[in-house]
Amino acid sequence: MLSFVSPNSLRLMGRVVPQVSSSSSLTNQPMGSVVVCRRHFRGSMGKDKPLSSSLLETPKYMREVYTFWYRTEKNVSFLDKESVVNTLLWGHADLLEGTVVSMIKPGDRIMQTGATYGELTTKSSKAVGPNGLFDCIDITPLQVDLHTRKLKNFPQARVRQANVIDPQLPNEDNYDLTYSFMLFHELPTEYKSKAANAILKSLKPDGKALFIDYHKPSFFPLWTYLTTIFTVFEPFGFEMYKKDFWEFGDKDISSQFDWKKRTIFFDMFQIVEATRKQGPK
């Protein structure tokens, strides 16, 4: 039954890989381009087989846990439907995606860490407008290829193959908004901290970070469902029950931000906003 499809399928997500160095600057890349470690990448989707990058090594935990959902090409056309995403989010796709879009102003510079199935990247690209920038990073070549094609008519959009804990930005303090959407429950513990730090460090003064993810449900049937999903499919998800987002990153970085948190649907989903404080870092 569809209701028991793993929430892994919410997104094709690339995780941590060995750092690849390059001397070229991301600032020289045109919008509407695809950048892999500051090099162009044009992929093509093949037949029904796992896809791995010849440029960036696929992390071991992705190979062991997420191949079916994120590295098997035959699943993409089905899982990329907004109706499937909405089902997996228990009917809350519009609300959660709308929360992201409501924080975007025309002309903003935005980064999404980890691409997602469904319409969120398209909605965000539209929201920044022709004078803004929508930067989407993911480590999975299949996902880079998918979103390159989805966003080909948005010159303000740029899809890059990059590591979420080391997005290889030309400089920090670069974005008005950086967000993750249903990402952190899929990251191993040690990567959650590095990813949180990278997201927070990417922001301009007064910039905002937005984290949307699972939370410990207060309604027992939903708790039973999500706990089962974590046990069977999502081995790194239980930390979402134990920590708040401001506890994932280093304290000296998290303390530079004002934090707001709210939950919806019997506390099953959390929406956490962090705003960089004014003044020196």
> pLDDT of the chain along its 281 residues, tens only?
333 444 444 443 333 333 333 333 333 444 443 333 333 333 333 333 333 334 677 777 777 777 766 667 888 888 889 999 999 999 999 999 999 999 999 999 999 999 999 999 999 999 999 999 999 998 888 888 999 999 999 999 999 988 888 777 755 668 999 999 999 999 999 899 999 999 999 999 999 999 999 999 999 999 999 999 999 999 999 999 999 999 999 999 999 999 999 999 999 999 999 999 986 54
What sign has the CA pseudo-torsion 11, 12, 18, 24? negative
Q: What is the pLDDT at residue 281? A: 47
3-state secondary structure of 168: coil
CA-to-CA separations, 256 to 136, 164, 246, in angstroms, rounded: 25, 21, 10
The residues pairing with 203 across neighbouring beta strands, listed in sequence order, are 175
Query: Which two three-digit tokens encode residue 143?
Result: 């996902």
Query: Which two three-digit tokens encode residue 278?
Result: 């004014």
Helix (H) or strand (E) holding 146: helix 141-150
Burial per residue of 73-83, b for 16 or more beta-carbon CB atoms within 10 angstroms, e otherwise:
bebbeebbeee
Q: Domain 2-20+28-276 carries which CATH code? A: 3.40.50.150
What is the Cβ-side half-sphere exposure of residue 227, based on CA atoms within 13 angstroms?
A: 11
Strands ordered across the beta sheet of 175-181: 39-40, 34-36, 157-161, 133-138, 109-113, 175-181, 203-214, 269-276, 257-264
Q: What is the pLDDT at residue 4? A: 40
